[in-house]
Structure 1
Amino acid sequence: MTSAKSSPPASTVPARTAAEAAPALSNPFFTPSELPYELPPFARIRHEHFLPAFERGMADQLAEIAAIGGSGAPPTFENTVEALERSGAVLYRASRVFFNKANADTDGATQELEAEIVPRLAAHEDAVLLDPALFARLEALHEQRDRLGLDGEQRRLLERHHALRVRAGARLAPEQQGRLRELNAEIAALCTEFRKNLRTDTAAAALVVERTEELAGLPADEIAAAAESARELGHDGHYVIGLRNFTNPPQLATLEDPALRERLLTASLERGLTSNGPLAVTVVTLRAERAALLGYPHHAAWQLADQTAGTAGAVEEMLGKLIGPALAHAEREGAALAEAAGVAEVRAADWQYYAERVRKERFDLDAAALRPYLELERVLRDGVFHAATLVYGVTFTERPDLVAYHPDARVFEVHNADGSPVGLYIGDFHARESKQGGAWMNELVLQSRLLDQRSVVVNNLNIPKPPAGDPVLLNWREVITLFHEFGHALHGLFSDVRYPLLAGTKVPRDFVEFPSQVNEMWAEWPEVLAHYARHHRTGEPMPPELPAKLREAERFGEGFNSVEHLAAALLDWSWHTLPAAELPDKDGTAAFEAATLERHGLARPAIPPRYRTGYFAHVFGGGYAAGYYGYRWAEVLDADTVRWFRENGRTVRESGEIFRRELLSRGNSVEPMEAFRAVVGHDPDIGPLLARRGAQE
């Protein structure tokens, strides 16, 4: 399907001569894509197209904003708010493609342009948000909002545009806005530098192992993948174990050599300490100054003004309720590990190894024995896609005729049960040197009825790629990650709103993880698990006793998982709740971390934080600053919703329709907690999460 796209109003489009318009014929960003669903024409896109597209896109949008603000006509919803929603089409197309490439398939030229363009984009965003003439028109409409005859979504859009500008500093004096613009540009540049340093440091910290014997305990396919990584990196005949974004690499669970485990964990914990530690202090100092300029006591308070949690007290109360149960659960786990190891206390590098031993002994479960039943293609098609069909009725058809941005990335067309189109899903599952670590979802095209656009979404994972012809076998955590990221994808695909600002995952940061965490439940739903968990060679189903053992074994690790997550959340929270005068100097990162964990009772050497400052890209290279608590906040909603799915008396399909209609499709067109209550029928209850996390054992 090719969507017909509405054009911006003629009055907002800057005039161009024929000579100026000619380059549009060669730059694919200057006109809407003619591919199905406006999929970016990746086969035509070259690096040299990005900078001209950014520059023209910014110039076009500034001209559109000037035309809106300078209109002599009285402000109306149509000539101000809807016109604003139509603005910036070229910039939007170029930005979505470029930053997907910067994360998923970067190179030196991309990183150079990223460093150049990010501060310019920050300045451009300020120019749009702080334009006085536009804000005056929005302010006038906001004051009259009760008399404008707006429907619910229109009113929500007006209020969002107005609130974004107030929060961005539109009411500050000109000299204060000048300093604010400087701060925003500097913070954006430093966050880009943080990401670049982290890519470099993570690659440099990968472990090169010389002898196969050192890898004893690692499954054969993982050894083959390590050999393939070594070959690609110029270490023929050796093995390379790459680091993950988070602290504990999964290989710690199976490597038998304690010295190698220690080397691997140390490399993970210390990356970024020298390059990114001082930089992080600078970032939080500038964020604290910006918060003070905007009238907030600290950066966290500024962030919470636009989140569902609302206040610092609400966040701290929630975290406080979780710390005690998590520590108690982790101590029980640690005692079991120490007994299994025959030591007084288990070291951090050995925790996962002995946890696997306890799982084998206590639950008769060998995690490595699960992997032959968890082959990527079957998990994707017969697990992730099958679950979406069961719950929501959607179907997936691979489109090899549509070219994505990398040969590893595959395009699928999504349809509703009645055959009507939903959008495109792009899956890019394998690790490579050009891709940042971790797993995430991007939206290349946002759904919007105003612009007649449907969603195009991308899931990125970092599953090691084995030699050609070998199966891609997953561990259980990778299966859960795939279901999680697909939950984000569904949130984008199911969006059904009029305006781009309110579409898909453009919800508060502490709400966005909620739908993705709910989607994890289907990985172990009996009907789904039985459909995909089959031996990759024989097709035999996973032995029927394994799923129950798996659930028990997973629960055994909840204490560790809770403590490492809470430790990371409180590091982020502590960095961003101090005023600038109380922050450490640039060499004080490690001491700050230690003092924070001690203060909250989380200084457990055997359970390091899931992220330390030097590689905490969520916070210092992304949008989760003072927001990492959102994973736990969203998990309260998730656990409550999972209980609703299981106990509401409806079929899975009926429940899925309600969840899609009342929440996934609504984006930010309604207040998110209102959408939550429309599904489960009550305010969030922390009880199901405490039960999940072992607090009621």
Structure 2
Amino acid sequence: MSEEPQPHPFLDPSFHVAWSSLEPAAIEADITLAMSKAQQNVDAIASQDSEAATYESTILALEDAVEELYRAWGYADHLSSVCEGPEIRKAYNAMLPKVTEFSTRIYLNEKLWQVIKTVAEKPEIKQMPPVHQRLVEDTLRSFKDHGADLHNDRREEFEKLSTELSQLTQKYSENVLDSTNAWELIVDDEAELTGIPESAKEAMKEDAAAKGHGDEASPKWRITLHMPSYLPVMQYCSNEALRRKVWEASSKIGHTEGHDNTPLIGKILKLRQRKAELLDRKDFAELTLAQRMVKNGKAALEFIETLHDKVEAPFREEMAELRVFKSGQTGSAPDELMEPWDTTYWAEKRRQAEFSFDEEELRPYFPIHHVIDGLFALTERLFGVSIVKRSTFYRDPKTGEEKHADEPGDLDPIEVWHPDVRFYDLLDEDETHLGSFYADWFPRESKRAGAWMNALRTGGPTKKGFRPHLGLMAGNMTKPTGNKPALMTHREVETIFHEFGHLLHHLLGKVEIRSLNGTNVAWDFVELPSQIMENWCWEREALDLFARHYANDETIPDDLFAKMLAARNYMQGNATMRQLSFGKLDLDLHINHANDAADRDLDALIDEILDGYSAQYATKPPSIVRRFGHLFSGPTGYACGYYSYKWAEVLEADCFTRFKEEGVLNRETGRAFRDCILSKGDSEPPEKLFRDFMGRDPDSDALLRRAGLLQEV
């Protein structure tokens, strides 16, 4: 397996990435070289005679001019997410402002901008195919939105704040990771863990032992703030003191000494506001939402507030009923406010009482290997593809030894960045290689929280066909314990399906323009392909493909499935209001408080913003804002766009009605979804793509109807 090392490993064009060669020490030299080459490419485009320049030699050429740099930087960014440590952090942060500055200067290159504008105005542009005209329009808009039309006195400020914004948001992300990892609780007495499922306790015990705490004779249990450890405590532990201790620690993520994001939030908001003002926009929402389906911040707020008004009554009713339930169990007053560390626990108790349903009953039916196999079988049936697992190996960074995860097959094994990672090829019906992807599902301290999908390489047309895509999906799911496989919760299964939906959007893209392919779509459309995949986690026909007991391979019993469906919409008002509160917080901060947030008591300000969106508690919980990575872990990210989860949920709830009508495993319907949406990227407006699949505009009440929250008048 040994190969000659590449002199610049981050620039290695090979489709399969040699991860062990991507050492932090190579980042500076490789990214610097890539920037130099990219600058030469950009200069060559900019130096053309404007009248002689063509679409191919300018706008299309710009697509390739910086591709190597952004691919290499994507590898570095990925490693900082899954293999974070002092060396990678130092190397990444050293180059981050330089890469940001380089990217910003492309749009501020006056000669380049003049050539592109001249070409865009030529009459032949209007004769090109629509997808190429769309690229021209997007390019012009991107340049304008990144300051191309700024006067010289504003250019320097714009460049400086772009760099500062990237550094502040990176620091925010690091604070979340560091404060999450800094806390642990070692429990000596198993009695303190009463109520927690055995599977979770076993994971805690193994985690403690791995950290040098306890042994088989005298075991201990390690609780962390990573979700597979945190959630079982909050949902099942009858020890209120322990729940409180864990909740209090979680509420301080991003708010501990040395890792406090409070001052960063105000600075980030001000920089975003100033960036918008420099571009003569009223606020950051006006800058970011113009090309999304919602069009502007006012419409986004109206969307959130309209949904809020429809679900507020069910939300309040649910919380009142929960207090009454607790009262019946404990003797507390029915109107006594609950503590924030009690809600999840008593909600679970009430679900078990009302539906005789405990989510833990489902866990044995969701071993991760069955979930993955079933997800792939479903995908193959619906979308006419096949998925082939490849053998993998991991090269130990200390010894250089290759450690294989599987027995080598007919094809060469693929290198991965961690022993837990797996690799797959996606093939079309005619065996054409559409793309490949990595899957990295289990938590570790060097890995950021949450779940996500990334595009590592976007393919495109060649003389020999369409180059395959490369991507990944990652998460922080329940790990294997003892002699048991990793057994997922149903929510974890939904998360895996969700991220794979994003991945399919990337891998099935057939747009000839790279920047218009895959998930490069309007932000409030991008969640449609991911969220629609979660629906199959509730359908019997689909569940029977993968929901099989790890010990005896039996499918979910009918009575358990019936209880699962009956409880599906339990506390939906609460769950919906939680998401709406995040969208409201996001938009209000950026539209109405970007300039004064830094001067206000942050929690008091958020209480003001979320009046009517939050339940009342005996102890006021601090806001999620200090660990809200969606909003503050990147220069833009989901800023002014968190509403898009609910926006896209309306779209996918509506789209899935077609599957329900025509058959949830109907190949023709699946193929239509692939052809109309998954393969089209941003080649056409999202409104048209939706209409192409559904034959009409969206039904705005589809989501509330599915969630059982639509109150008929």
Aligned counterparts of 2:232 and 2:588: Cα–Cα separation in 1:
28
Aligned counterparts of 2:707 and 2:183: Cα–Cα separation in 1:
33
Over 4 Å off, 4+ runs: 145-148, 244-248, 606-611, 648-651
The equivalent of 1:375 in structure 2 is: 367
The equivalent of 1:315 in structure 2 is: 300
Following superposition of structure 1 onto structure 2, how do residues 178-193 of structure 1 map, counting pairs within 5 Å? 178-193=156-171
Of 494-503 and 181-190, the range deviating more from structure 2: 494-503
**RMSD, aligned α-carbons:** 2.3
Tell me, yes or no, if structure 1 residue 166 matches structure 2 residue 144: yes
The equivalent of 2:430 in structure 1 is: 418
Following superposition of structure 1 onto structure 2, how do residues 61-80 of structure 1 map, counting pairs within 5 Å? 61-72=38-49, 74-80=52-58
1:538–1:221 Cα change, 3 Å = same
Residue 472 of structure 2 aligns to a residue in which SS?
A: strand
1:56–1:692 Cα change, 3 Å = same
Aligned counterparts of 1:306 and 1:56: Cα–Cα separation in 2:
34
Deviation track 1:221-280 (CA, whole Å, cap 9, x = no partner) reads 211211222233444443222224799835311111111112222221222125101111
Aligned counterparts of 2:212 and 2:701: Cα–Cα separation in 1:
52
Of 640-649 and 428-437, the range deviating more from structure 2: 640-649
Are 2:266 and 2:594, in contact at CA under 8 Å, matched by a contact in 1?
no
Tell me, yes or no, if structure 1 residue 27 matches structure 2 residue 8: yes
The Cα of 1:456 is off from its aligned counterpart by 1.1
Tell me, yes or no, if structure 1 residue 216 matches structure 2 residue 194: yes
Tell me, yes or no, if structure 1 residue 575 matches structure 2 residue 593: no
Residue 397 of structure 1 aligns to a residue in which SS?
A: strand
The equivalent of 1:140 in structure 2 is: 118
Residue 459 of structure 1 aligns to a residue in which SS?
A: strand
Residue 708 of structure 2 aligns to a residue in which SS?
A: coil
The equivalent of 1:399 in structure 2 is: 390
1:244–1:594 Cα change, 3 Å = farther
Structure 2: segments with no counterpart, 5+ residues: 392-412
Structure 1: segments with no counterpart, 5+ residues: 1-22
Tell me, yes or no, if structure 1 residue 117 matches structure 2 residue 98: no
Aligned counterparts of 2:595 and 2:194: Cα–Cα separation in 1:
51
Tell me, yes or no, if structure 1 residue 595 matches structure 2 residue 577: no
Aligned counterparts of 1:250 and 1:325: Cα–Cα separation in 2:
31
The equivalent of 1:263 in structure 2 is: 245
1:305–1:528 Cα change, 3 Å = same
Residue 396 of structure 1 aligns to a residue in which SS?
A: strand
Following superposition of structure 1 onto structure 2, how do residues 626-665 of structure 1 map, counting pairs within 5 Å? 626-647=640-661, 652-665=666-679
Are 1:210 and 1:238, in contact at CA under 8 Å, matched by a contact in 2?
yes
The Cα of 1:608 is off from its aligned counterpart by 8.6
Match of 1:512 among 501, 520, 526: 526
Of 106-115 and 572-581, the range deviating more from structure 2: 572-581
Residue 79 of structure 1 aligns to a residue in which SS?
A: coil
The equivalent of 1:13 in structure 2 is: none
Aligned counterparts of 1:373 and 1:609: Cα–Cα separation in 2:
35
Of 486-495 and 574-583, the range deviating more from structure 2: 574-583
Deviation track 1:317-373 (CA, whole Å, cap 9, x = no partner) reads 211121123322222322332232114243321222222222222112111111111
Of 535-544 and 249-258, the range deviating more from structure 2: 249-258
The equivalent of 1:500 in structure 2 is: 514
Aligned counterparts of 1:267 and 1:422: Cα–Cα separation in 2:
45
Tell me, yes or no, if structure 1 residue 249 matches structure 2 residue 231: yes
Aligned counterparts of 2:591 and 2:153: Cα–Cα separation in 1:
26
The Cα of 1:181 is off from its aligned counterpart by 0.5
Of 54-63 and 240-249, the range deviating more from structure 2: 240-249
1:41–1:200 Cα change, 3 Å = same
Are 1:563 and 1:607, in contact at CA under 8 Å, matched by a contact in 2?
no
Residue 577 of structure 1 aligns to a residue in which SS?
A: helix
Of 605-614 and 289-298, the range deviating more from structure 2: 605-614
Are 2:455 and 2:470, in contact at CA under 8 Å, matched by a contact in 1?
yes
Are 2:371 and 2:546, in contact at CA under 8 Å, matched by a contact in 1?
yes
Aligned counterparts of 2:503 and 2:479: Cα–Cα separation in 1:
23
The equivalent of 2:409 in structure 1 is: none
Of 449-458 and 56-65, the range deviating more from structure 2: 449-458
Residue 487 of structure 2 aligns to a residue in which SS?
A: coil
Tell me, yes or no, if structure 1 residue 150 matches structure 2 residue 141: no
The Cα of 1:28 is off from its aligned counterpart by 2.4
- What one-letter code is carried by the residue in structure 1 that aligns with 2:451? A
Q: Percent identity?
A: 30
Of 280-289 and 111-120, the range deviating more from structure 2: 111-120
Are 2:5 and 2:21, in contact at CA under 8 Å, matched by a contact in 1?
no
Are 1:564 and 1:608, in contact at CA under 8 Å, matched by a contact in 2?
no
The equivalent of 2:173 in structure 1 is: 195
Residue 218 of structure 1 aligns to a residue in which SS?
A: coil
Are 1:488 and 1:515, in contact at CA under 8 Å, matched by a contact in 2?
yes
Following superposition of structure 1 onto structure 2, how do residues 29-68 of structure 1 map, counting pairs within 5 Å? 29-33=10-14, 38-68=15-45
Deviation track 1:81-133 (CA, whole Å, cap 9, x = no partner) reads 12111112431231121111111121111111222222111111111122111
- What one-letter code is carried by the residue in structure 2 that aligns with 1:507? V
1:244–1:625 Cα change, 3 Å = farther
Aligned counterparts of 1:483 and 1:573: Cα–Cα separation in 2:
28
The equivalent of 2:75 in structure 1 is: 97
The equivalent of 1:272 in structure 2 is: 254
The Cα of 1:283 is off from its aligned counterpart by 0.7
1:31–1:601 Cα change, 3 Å = closer
The equivalent of 1:429 in structure 2 is: 441
Match of 1:541 among 555, 567, 578: 555
Tell me, yes or no, if structure 1 residue 566 matches structure 2 residue 608: no
Are 1:247 and 1:609, in contact at CA under 8 Å, matched by a contact in 2?
no
The Cα of 1:606 is off from its aligned counterpart by 8.1
The Cα of 1:682 is off from its aligned counterpart by 1.7
Of 244-253 and 118-127, the range deviating more from structure 2: 244-253
Aligned counterparts of 1:671 and 1:634: Cα–Cα separation in 2:
15
TM-score, with length taken from structure 1: 0.91
Aligned counterparts of 2:607 and 2:532: Cα–Cα separation in 1:
33
TM-score, with length taken from structure 2: 0.89
Are 2:366 and 2:487, in contact at CA under 8 Å, matched by a contact in 1?
yes
